[in-house]
Amino acid sequence: DDLLQDTGIANSIAASDPESLALLLESVPLEPRLISWQQVPNAKKLDVLVEMRGDPRTTVIESTPKEEWEIIFQNVDAEQLLEISDTLPSDLLEIALAAMGKQQRQFFQDASQYKDEQIGHWLNHELLVLPTNAKVRDGLRLLRRELPDTTECIFLLNRAGQFSAAVKLSSLFGEPDHLPLVDLSEDYISVVKADQDAVQAAREVQTSGYISLPVVDDGNKLLGRVDIVTACELVNENYERQIMSSAGMDEDEDLFSSVPTSAKKRAIWLGINLMTAFLASWFIGLFEATLQEVVALAILMPVVASMGGIAGSQTLTLIVRGLALGQVTKSNRKALLDKELKVGILNGFIWAFVVGAIAYLWFDSSLLGVVIGIAILLNIIAAAITGVILPLILSRLKIDPALSGSVILTTVTDIVGFVAFLGLGSIFLL
């Protein structure tokens, strides 16, 4: 009880919508989280679970007594189950499937045939559909029923269940009853293929001007629709994945995961980084004799490495965004490399001069100034080239450049920087 007062969560539970409640539960440590979770009414629990991120969701799922699940899953539908199924133990999945009607179970199975990354996995099945030859009066009759959320169109299907047209509800008013709906159909609505990339399809919905788009299979059969609420979730999740993966984490990361879990998850990334750091050290070790003679090289080493790292990560970030937006393609990658190379050469010369001058003044050695200047120039140029080419290679290899790009880039700029600086130092300063 004390814990609850501390976090100020107690009063909020009753009043909150599922989204806020999910954010709230995620933002408190494990103990008060589980106490608060118990106080969430069972009827609300499913909606909250759907809104939560994977890791914190797992913590509350594990704490929920088995007998509660039948109540929680009382009105579960296919969409909700799909959202949480990757964090659900198989026995609970069984309970949920048993609670669903035949049609919802069918929807769940259909969706499960598509991968997480495909839009077919994330369909909304609440649709207004009519046969292609339906009239305005048929459309108006549909409106008297309760409409599903985010519905603005009636989809017209031919006898084979294939999508033929979409008609905006709002275009029905004032039209004569006997007018064929096809005459009012939208000319430019996009039709999404179920096996299309989920994030790309979601972006298409966001910019389509429609609240949802129809989704069809390879045979043009209407399977469902992507609504804008789902689209926002997919796009936001993708951005979070990008941000989190730049630090070697995933978007499901729990603010308050248990210490061992969290340490273990992060250890992998630290381990990968350690290997690259030792690799860089090994290259430094090649110049042991030089370092012993010219200690200024050891002192200035980090400057060379970090200037390359920063310049490279700027290029990398720009290219990764361009790839995500589909703006970096075969046709412009040469021009991009050309431009980034020129930027690198320009900035390389500027900073070579600045760093060279400072090093000269600090250590009173013009030769040292020249050596570090050349090393900076080379490293910034190498950074520009790597920043363009690396994400292109990674994305062709189907490796997420947001995740592994920066580690590899830093390894390259560290090694190029150290080798150039210490190598030139060995030649000119010994």
- In the complex, the smallest distance separating the C-beta of residue 253 from its own copies, rounded to whole angstroms, is 6
By CB under 8 A, tell whether 186 contacts its own copies: no
- Between the alpha carbon of residue 254 and those of residues 46, 70, 107, the distances in Å are 19, 27, 30
- Between the alpha carbon of residue 158 and those of residues 49, 130, 131, 165, 221, the distances in Å are 38, 9, 6, 9, 9
N-terminal to C-terminal alpha carbon distance within the chain: 70
By CB under 8 A, tell whether 301 contacts its own copies: yes
By CB under 8 A, tell whether 323 contacts its own copies: no
* Residues in 104-163 that interact with its own copies by CB under 8 A: 140, 143-144, 146-147, 149-152
- In the complex, the smallest distance separating the C-beta of residue 145 from its own copies, rounded to whole angstroms, is 9
Q: Residue from 23, 34, 97, 429 that binds its own copies (CB under 8 A)?
A: 23
Q: Which is nearer to its own copies, 243 or 393 (CB)?
A: 243
Q: Residue from 72, 194, 198, 300 that binds its own copies (CB under 8 A)?
A: 300
Place of tokens 């429609």: 210
DSSP run (H or E) holding 303 = helix 295-324
Q: 256: Cβ–Cβ under 8 A, 6 or more apart, which residues? A: 26, 27, 28, 29, 30, 33, 56
Q: Which is nearer to its own copies, 79 or 152 (CB)?
A: 152
By CB under 8 A, tell whether 346 contacts its own copies: yes
By CB under 8 A, tell whether 200 contacts its own copies: no
- In the complex, the smallest distance separating the C-beta of residue 407 from its own copies, rounded to whole angstroms, is 9
By CB under 8 A, tell whether 262 contacts its own copies: yes
DSSP track, 188-219: S---EETTSBHHHHHHHHHHHSSSEEEEE-TT
Q: Residue from 14, 295, 361, 393 that binds its own copies (CB under 8 A)?
A: 295
* Residues in 241-260 that interact with its own copies by CB under 8 A: 242-244, 246-249, 253, 255-256, 259-260
By CB under 8 A, tell whether 229 contacts its own copies: yes
Q: Residue from 64, 162, 273, 404 that binds its own copies (CB under 8 A)?
A: 273
Q: 179: Cβ–Cβ under 8 A, 6 or more apart, which residues? A: 135, 136
Q: Which is nearer to its own copies, 6 or 68 (CB)?
A: 6
* Residues in 153-172 that interact with its own copies by CB under 8 A: 169-170
Please name which of 333, 334, 373 lies closest in space to residue 350, comparing C-alpha atoms.
Answer: 373
Q: Residue from 85, 158, 162, 206 that binds its own copies (CB under 8 A)?
A: 206
List the strands of the sheet with 192-193, edge to edge.
Answer: 192-193, 212-216, 222-227
Q: Residue from 44, 322, 365, 399 that binds its own copies (CB under 8 A)?
A: 322
CB 328 within 8 A of CB 319: yes
By CB under 8 A, tell whether 328 contacts its own copies: yes
Q: 63: Cβ–Cβ under 8 A, 6 or more apart, which residues? A: 34, 37
What distance lies between CA 326 and its chain's CA centroid? Answer: 15
- In the complex, the smallest distance separating the C-beta of residue 207 from its own copies, rounded to whole angstroms, is 4
Q: Residue from 124, 347, 395, 413 that binds its own copies (CB under 8 A)?
A: 347
Q: At what angle do helices 30-39 and 54-63 cross, to 10 degrees?
A: 60
DSSP track, 221-248: BEEEEEEHHHHHHHHHHHHHHHHHHTTT
Q: Residue from 1, 2, 218, 288 that binds its own copies (CB under 8 A)?
A: 288
By CB under 8 A, tell whether 404 contacts its own copies: no
